[in-house]
A and B are shown apart, each in its own frame.
Chain A
Amino acid sequence: MRMSDPLLVIGDLVKRFPVRAGIFHRKVAEVKAVEMVSFDIRSGEIFGLVGESGSGKSTVGKTLLGIYKPTKGSIRFKGRDVTTLIKENLRFFKKEAQMVFQDPKSSLNPRRSIKSTLEESLIVHKIAKNGREREKIVVDLLGMVELSPSFMYKYPSMLSGGQRQRVAIARALALNPSFIVLDEPTSALDVSVQAKIIRLLQRLQAERQMAYLFISHDLSLMRTMASRTAVMYLGRIYELAPTEELFTNPLYPYTKTLISAVPVVSEEERRMKPKKQSAGGEIPSPINPPSGCTFHPRCSLAQRVCSQQLPELVEVMPGHFVRCHVVTNA
């Protein structure tokens, strides 16, 4: 498969969660977590999803891997629609696509030794012939994440946050996947530990030509990690561009507001910040999102059309898509 071929194609993905209430547990409303999201990830690429809480970025990641069942839409992995896969074919997909979660404390089983945690998927997928071979693979996996073999016999509570996240990464690597969803993999860590984990993830990606879906709310980190970035707000993608382009030439008012809100350390960074284009305000509820462009109540450039009609995602420059009446009409 060539580098530029899409590994994963997501078309018009929708995920809604019912809100139930009352003694009959009736559905009273829906959380519109993800609304008509489409994008593709090429093999060997790091694709970033950035947004604030409630933007639906984690839901996209979890729906891709089948943790949630999509309400609508298609997910094609290496040409096959994975939403309809069963048995053998599904097993192939589960081997190829893995996930690293935000909080390694809750994603690792506290009662299992690291060895037992890392062995599990090897057993399920019948990777090794016998116990000795499995143990060898476990040692290799620990080596890949720069942990010594003695970690095999430890339990998660004996490890630091950074070490736990290394184990979670080793677990994701166990089946030699071509695609990993990284859902805020460093947000529970200190910056100096985060730096090490990020470097590790970058090195592994380069060595094994894996594709990542990197989900984060940290824009500075996104700039370092992703080759293309999509900005989500209340379940929709509003801007998608090569990362470099997105940061140097953001077009959507929310993207500008988001970049301008990042607390930065140097004068150089301060200078590159765009002017914010928001009058403040809170993030609305995804149960009852605003009409039209969902950012319009907070947008300082909003016109009448913005509250009436949802703009289309338009390619304004090669590879740079934006969903905004003001930008595309100008």
Chain B
Amino acid sequence: MLEIRDLCVYFRGYEGVSRVLDAVSLNVGRGERVGLAGETGCGKTVTMKTVMGLLKTPPAIIPHGEVILDGQNILEMSAKHLLQIKGMKISMIFQDPMNALNPVFTIGGQLYDVIRFAQSRSGNGRKRARTEIHARAIAALEEVRLPDPERILNSYPLELSGGMRQRVLIAMALVNRPSFLIADEPQTALDVTIGAQILGLLSELVRTKGISVLLITHNLGVIQETTERIYIMYAGQIAETMPTALLFDNPKHPYSQGLLASVPRLTGGEIAEGIRGTVPDYIAAPSGCRFHPRCDYVMPICSQKKPPPFMVELDHYVGCWLYGEDGG
């Protein structure tokens, strides 16, 4: 469905070039739910923006790499062509539902726009009647289990709670039946119980509709509960990828291990000391494996060459020299 190959994204600034994404490769199969995890500043959002074609160039530079959606390279697409894909084939749910909705228009107005947009792009020239658009909007709101959809259509975003707004956004993202959905921390702005409701609803909808999902979050628990496969990203490099079910018993990359040990558990017990050092600056990113200055198992090769993904078991690849033929 989606394949990112050796994607590099740099940003040109006053202080030099920030090499943010360093040959990121990632793929999402048809109907697959994939998680992309990492901490603040690891490049999750840049990856997402590149896929959505939201990256401004300049300041961003994409020296090489491909983003292939359904057989087509998004990076080489014309703006017009890209517009046809956005909101139709590929859709997105943002972190903060308040910022994603326009406060001065009603929910109905914004939802109708999305439906009309799809209609104008579908190219069959037939203008749908207002009643038909209205019916589709109502159906979309019912699908996300919003009570009294008629009233919601006439409300402004401020009149709704955070959970309801996020439901509206899910409805908007799904109304044009996309085949690929990017969800950027859909639960962080919400309370625990409300967030759980939203994640439950989202998982159920994408599963029944067979939509492929890329879920971006820093919360490993959320990834564990909603995805089938996970990518762990550190400082613009993919550290490790594996079936989500394996993560918690068998993390291989020293960064994944440190990250997982830092997560407080519901079962209690001490949490680990975290990971020593701090996240590097992208202007002077460490050479080779970018984690090497913080790694306890560092070897000479780590600072010289970036490790390729080594296969440790089926579907489980680790970008770490410890698992190379010569290492570990």
A: residues with CB less than 8 A from B are 52-53, 160-162, 190-196, 198-199, 217-221, 223-224, 243-244, 247, 257-269, 272-273, 278, 280, 282-283
> CA A240 – CA B40 in complex, angstroms?
35
| Distance of B160 from chain A, by nearest CB (Å) | 10
Number of residues on chain B facing chain A (CB within 8 A): 41
Q: Chain A binding site: helix, strand, loop or mixed by DSSP? A: helix
| B259 in contact with A191 (CB, 8 Å) | yes
The stretch that binds A, out of B16-24, B67-75, B92-100, B187-195, is: B187-195
The stretch that binds A, out of B1-9, B136-144, B217-225, B307-315, is: B217-225
| Distance of B255 from chain A, by nearest CB (Å) | 9
> CA A283 – CA B199 in complex, angstroms?
17
Residues of A within 8 A of B259 (CB): 191-192
| B192 in contact with A262 (CB, 8 Å) | yes
B: residues with CB less than 8 A from A are 39-40, 161, 163-164, 191-197, 199, 218-222, 224-225, 247-248, 258-275, 278
> CA A282 – CA B167 in complex, angstroms?
12
Partner of B271, one of A199, A219, A261: A199
| B265 in contact with A263 (CB, 8 Å) | no
Residues of B within 8 A of A263 (CB): 195-196, 199, 219, 221-222, 224-225
Once A223-B267, A282-B161 are accepted as A-B contacts, the answer to whether A264 and B224 lie under 8 Å apart by CB is yes
| Distance of B222 from chain A, by nearest CB (Å) | 5
| B220 in contact with A265 (CB, 8 Å) | yes
The total number of A-B Cβ pairs within 8 Å is 124
Beyond A199-B271, A220-B263, 17 additional pairs, beta carbon < 8 A? A52-B194, A191-B263, A194-B274, A195-B271, A195-B274, A199-B274, A220-B266, A221-B264, A224-B265, A247-B268, A261-B192, A261-B195, A263-B199, A263-B219, A263-B225, A265-B263, A269-B267
| B196 in contact with A261 (CB, 8 Å) | yes
| B40 in contact with A190 (CB, 8 Å) | yes
Q: Closest 8 A-B residue pairs measured CB to CB?
A: A263-B221, A261-B196, A195-B262, A195-B274, A52-B191, A190-B39, A220-B264, A196-B274
Residues of A within 8 A of B40 (CB): 161, 190
Residues of B within 8 A of A247 (CB): 266-268
| B192 in contact with A52 (CB, 8 Å) | yes
Once A263-B199, A268-B267 are accepted as A-B contacts, the answer to whether A194 and B191 lie under 8 Å apart by CB is no
